[in-house]
Amino acid sequence: MHEHDVIVVGAGGAGLRAAIAAQEEGADVAIVSKLHPVRSHTGAAEGGINAALREGDSWQDHAYDTMKGSDYLGDAPAIETLAQDSPEEVIQLEHWGMAFSREEDGRVSQRPFGGLSFPRTTYAGAETGHQLLHTMYEQLVKRGIEVYDEWYVLDLAVSDEPEPEDRSCHGVVGYDIQSGTIEGFRARDGVILATGGLGQVYDHTTNAVANTGDGVAMAYRAGVPIEDMEFIQFHPTTLPSTGVLITEGVRGEGGILYNEEGERFMFEYGYANNDGELASRDVVSRAELTEVNEGRGIEDEYVHLDMRHLGEERIVDRLENIIHLSEDFEGVDPLEEPMPVKPGQHYAMGGIETDENGETCVSGLYAAGECACASVHGSNRLGGNALPELIVFGARAGHHAAGRDMKEAEIPTGKRGDWEAGDVDTPVEPGDVPGTGAGDAVADGGAAASDLDPDELVQRATERTQVRIESLLDNEDGRNHAEIRSEVQESMTQHVNVFREKEGLKQALRDIREAREKYAEVGVADQSRTFNTDLLHTIETRNIIDLAEAITLGALAREEFRGAHWRKEHQERDDENWLKHTLLSWNGGSPELWFKPVILEGEDKRYEPKIRSY
Amino acid sequence: MSTQLPEQVDDESSADEVEPQPEAQERRLQKKRDRAAEQERQRQAEEAEKALDDEDTYHLKVFRYDPEIAGKKEPRFDDFHVPFEKGMTVLDALMYARDTYDSSLTFRHSCRQAICGSDAMFVNGSQRLCCKTQLSDLEEPVRIEPLPHAEVVKDLVVDMEHFYDQMEAVEPYFQTNDLPDGELEEQRQSRENREKVKMSTRCIWCGACMSSCNIAAGDNQYLGPAALNKAYRFTMDEREGEEMKQQRLEILEQEHGVWRCQTQFSCTEVCPKDIPLTEHIQELKREAVKNNLKFW
C-alpha cells in the first residue's frame, strides 16, 4: 500500500494546481493519473482565462457577468470566489513563466469573449490550455511532487455509514496500467478528485477519448450527491467530422457565422440582435441548429464560420493554431475559405457537489475542475471561465485538504431534511448494473470508519476491486464494451442533445437500461496484464452508462428552459419554481432525486434574476 | 527492424512476477490465454478475408507484440482491412480495427487533435502523429509500428521513461530571482521576445524527434532534440535574466549536450508541431560560443 497525506486523482489543470497547493501547505502529496500529466485534456483548451486584471474592470463585474451567463443558476459564494481569486492565480502563472500573448508594453494581453462586459480573457494565442498545462507541470517537476502516471484509479475507499454526510474517505484503489498490478493508496488527510470531463457520454464531442467522467461516477457510487447533471454545454463551433474545437476566440476577434444562403443569421433571423456571434454559447448553438433544421444549413449539417476578413497578420498573431486545426482535420484553409462548424458536446456544468473550498459532504473527499460542481457555471458556462475554475478551485481544494484554515464555506453540501424531494416518471427502472456488485451505496469499505482502521478500509476496497477485475477477465467471451459504449453515445446525441423533448428523453432512458443489461454480460477478451486497454475501456464504459443516466434523469426532471437546457414542452425560464439545483444520490443503485435552492446572496449584494438578452 | 524489444522471460516466471497466484489458477488462466490467442488469430483471418472482397477498404499492417501471452510473444505484423471514409486518419483506422476486429490491439491515444502527444508512431517509415495523418496521404499497405529506438511495452506502446528523464535533465521550469514588486504585477516581456520563444513552447512531448534522431539512437545520454528545445524555451526567455542564462548554457554544454547534434534535420522533419528544432539547437550552440568568448 502506498501512503501519502494528500492523494490527487487526475493530472490536468485542477489536479496539478491542487497538488502544488497541498505541497505549499507542507503536505506529502502524490498524483495518481491514468494519463501522464502532459497528456491531459486541459492542454486542448484554446481560448483563454478570465481574470479582472485591468483598470476599468473589477471582480464584481466578472462575478456579475458569470451569474448572468449562468442564467441565475450559479451559487453566488462560488462565483464571487472565482472572480476574486482568479487575478492572483493568473499572475502567479505568469510568474511561473507561462507564455501569455503580450501587449506592446509587455503586459499580458486580454481579449473579448462571449457574455463578458469587459475584454478580460487573458490568453496565449489559441493554445492557452497547452501553455497552462505545461507551465504547471514544470512547477511539479521543480517541486519534485510524486506522480504515479498511467495508474488508473478504479475506486474510492469510503466508509459505509448509512448517511453519506457521516462517511469518510481514506484513499483510493489504483491499477498500474503497465503491469496490471492493483494497489491501495492510503490518504492520511484527503483525496482530491480532479478527473475532468465526461464528453465521451456523447459521440460528437470536443473532449478527449480519456474523458469518461471516472471521478464523477466513482463519487456518485460512493454516495456523494451529483449536481445539475442535465446542464451539458454544447460548443457552437466544432469541426463536423471530428468534433475538434474552434475557439470562441475566433468570434471574439470578429469571426462571422453564415448560413447556406450567405446570411449572417445571428442578426438576420434575430437570434441575438445585441451581441450577434458573441452571444453566449447556448444561444449560438441553438441558432446554428435551428438554421440547419430549417433547411438553411450547408449539406444539411453545418454552418460557416468566416474569419478571412480579419487579415492574415491578425489571424496568425492570435489564432494561428486554428489554421492548423482546420487544415489538418477538415482540409480547409481558413485564410482562403470559411470553416465548417456545428455544435458539439464541450463541457459538463454539473458534477460532484462541492462547496467553495472544494469539499464534498463525505469528509476527506474533495473535487475540483470540470468533474466538480461548486456551481460556478450554473446552467451555462461562459467562455474563458473553465481555466480560472481549475486553478482557483484546484488551489483551494489543495490548501484545504492539506489543513489550511479556510473561511467556513457558505455553500451547504449533502442532503438536508428540508430540501425538496423530486420525482420523475421514468419508463424503466433506472439504476445499477445487475450482478456487478457495485450496487451498495458505498462502493468498497463494507464497514463504518469507526469499526475499522483506515488502512484496513483501503485494504478491503483493494481486495474488492481485485475480485471485480478478475471477474471481468474471467468472462473473456463476454460482450465487447465498444458496442455498448457506442450505443449509449448515439442515443445521447440523438435524444439528450441541444434540443430535448420528453419522449426522446424517455427513449434515452430505455436505451441506457438496455445498455446496462448488456453490460451485465460484458467481458474482456484481452487476457494480458500488460497495458490492457481493453480492460480499461470496459471499466470506463460502466462510468459512461451511469453518467448518461444521470444526465437524462436530470433533463427529464427539469421542466423549464434555462441556459443550455432547452425543453420542447417548456419554453420559458421558470424562476418561480426552478431557481434550484437538481441533485442525484446513488442510493444503493436506485437514483434518488432532490433539489436545493440556488444561493443568490453575494458578499454585499443579491443577484436579481433578469431576462437574458444577447 | 529498429524497434527494441525488452528481453523476454519465460512464461511462468513472468506470470509470477506480475502477481503470485496458486498454480492451478495460473494453469487455467494460461490455457484460457492460449485459447484466446488462437481464436483471435482465426477470427482475424476470417475478417481479413471478408474485408478483402470489399473495394473501399484500407489495408493496414500493424506491428503486434505482447510479452505475456503465448502466441503473441514473437513480434509479428497483423493485417487489418478497414472500411475507408473520407477524412479518416490513421488513428481512426486503428480505433476501428480495435473496436471491430481485435479488442486487444493496444496503442496510446487521447485528444485526437494533435495536442496530447500520445499517439506518435512509425507509419510507413516515418515518425508521425496518427491523429493528424490522413490515410489518403499514405501508400497501401499502411505499415504501423511503434516508435523506433524505444523499448516496446506491447503492440504499439513504447516505454517513454527515458524520454521523460531527458526532458527533466535540463531543469525544465522557469527560474528567476527578479519578480516584480506588487502582488498583481506581471513580469514584462516584449512581443519580440515572446515571438522568439513561441515555437519552442509548442512541444507536446510526443517523442517523434527523439525517435528520429540518429545521434540519440547511438548515445543514450544525449539530451536529444526535445529536451534541448525545452532548454531553448527558457534560455531565450528574457525574463529569466543573464545569470540564469549562463547557468543554463552550462547544462547544455555538457558532453552529451548541444555539441552532439550533427544537424541532420531529421527531428525538424518529423516534428508534428513544425518546431524548427535543429535551428534552435544551432542557436544554442552559437549562444554557448558567445558566452565562452566573454571570458577570454
- Cα-based distances in Å from A405 to A4, A173, A402: 20, 29, 9
pLDDT the model gives residue B51: 54
Is the pLDDT score of A530 beyond 90? yes
Say how far residue A395 (Cα) sits from the centre of its chain: 17
- What the block records as the C-alpha cell of A609 is 434574476
pLDDT the model gives residue B34: 74
The reply to whether B57-151 and B161-178+190-292 are identical in fold is: no
pLDDT the model gives residue B217: 96
The pLDDT confidence band at residue A444, using thresholds 50, 70 and 90, is very low
* CB within 8 Å: B168 and A330: no
Is the pLDDT score of A206 beyond 50? yes
Contacts of B184 in chain A (CB under 8 A): 53, 87-88, 91
In A96-209, which residue ranges form alpha helices assigned H by DSSP?
Answer: 128-143
The pLDDT confidence band at residue A65, using thresholds 50, 70 and 90, is very high
- Give me the percent of chain A exceeding a pLDDT of 90: 92
Contacts of A532 in chain B (CB under 8 A): 104, 106
Q: Based on the residue annotation, tell me whether A17 is a catalytic residue of this protein.
A: no
Whether chain B has a CB inside 8 Å of the CB on A332: the answer is no
Chain A closest-CA separation from residue B84 CA (Å): 14
Q: For chain B, which residues make up each domain, given as ranges?
A: 57-151, 161-178+190-292
Mean confidence (pLDDT) of chain B? 89
- The shortest CB-CB distance from A44 to any of B87, B115, B153 is to B115
Q: Residues B41-77: pLDDT tens digits?
A: 777 766 665 555 556 899 999 999 999 988 888 999 9
For cell 425538496, name the residue.
A420
> Is residue B151 a contact partner of residue A531, using CB atoms and an 8 Å limit?
no
Q: In chain A, which among 385-444 make CB contacts under 8 A with chain B?
A: none
pLDDT the model gives residue A593: 97
Tell which wins on pLDDT, B30 or A219: A219
Whether chain B has a CB inside 8 Å of the CB on A568: the answer is no
Candidate list A17, A120, A167, A281, residue with the active-site label = A281
DSSP letter at B27?
Answer: H
pLDDT the model gives residue A100: 98
The pLDDT confidence band at residue B19, using thresholds 50, 70 and 90, is very low
Q: Residues B159-191: pLDDT tens digits?
A: 999 999 999 999 999 999 889 988 789 999 999
Whether chain B has a CB inside 8 Å of the CB on A178: the answer is yes
Is the pLDDT score of B294 beyond 80? no
The stretch A203-226 carries a mean pLDDT of 96
- Give the CATH superfamily of B57-151: Beta-grasp domain (3.10.20.30)
The stretch A313-333 carries a mean pLDDT of 93
Is the pLDDT score of B2 beyond 60? no
The stretch A230-243 carries a mean pLDDT of 96
pLDDT the model gives residue A93: 98
* CB within 8 Å: B36 and A130: no
pLDDT the model gives residue B16: 44
Phi, psi of A585 (to 5 degrees): -115, 145
Chain A closest-CA separation from residue B207 CA (Å): 12
DSSP letter at A404?
Answer: -
* CB within 8 Å: B184 and A91: yes
The 3-class secondary structure across A242-270, one letter per residue, is: CCCECCCHHHHCCCEEECCCCCCHHHHCC
SS3 content of chain B, % helix, strand, coil (to 5): 45, 10, 40
Mean confidence (pLDDT) of chain A? 95
**Which of A341, A319, A347 lies closest to A329 in space, CA to CA?**
A341
ipTM of the complex: 0.95
- The shortest CB-CB distance from A131 to any of B155, B171, B201 is to B201
Whether chain A has a CB inside 8 Å of the CB on B52: the answer is no
Which residues lie below 8 Å from residue A596, measured CB to CB, with a gap of 6+? A412, A416, A419, A420, A580, A581, A583
Say how far residue A245 (Cα) sits from the centre of its chain: 15
Is the pLDDT score of A437 beyond 70? no
**Burial zone of A525 (CB within 10 Å; 0-12 exposed, 13-18 middle, 19+ buried):** buried
| pTM for this model (two decimals) | 0.93
DSSP letter at A108?
Answer: B
Tell which wins on pLDDT, A374 or B40: A374
pLDDT the model gives residue B7: 60
Q: Domain B161-178+190-292 belongs to what architecture?
A: Orthogonal Bundle (1.10)
Phi, psi of A243 (to 5 degrees): 90, 5
| Coil/strand/helix, residue A121 | strand
Is the pLDDT score of A412 beyond 60? yes
pLDDT the model gives residue B178: 86
Q: Residues A555-613: pLDDT tens digits?
A: 999 999 999 999 999 999 999 999 999 999 998 889 999 999 999 999 999 999 998 77
Other Cβ atoms less than 10 A from the Cβ of A474: the count is: 15
* CB within 8 Å: A41 and B116: yes
Is the pLDDT score of A443 beyond 80? no
Whether chain B has a CB inside 8 Å of the CB on A58: the answer is no
pLDDT the model gives residue B17: 45
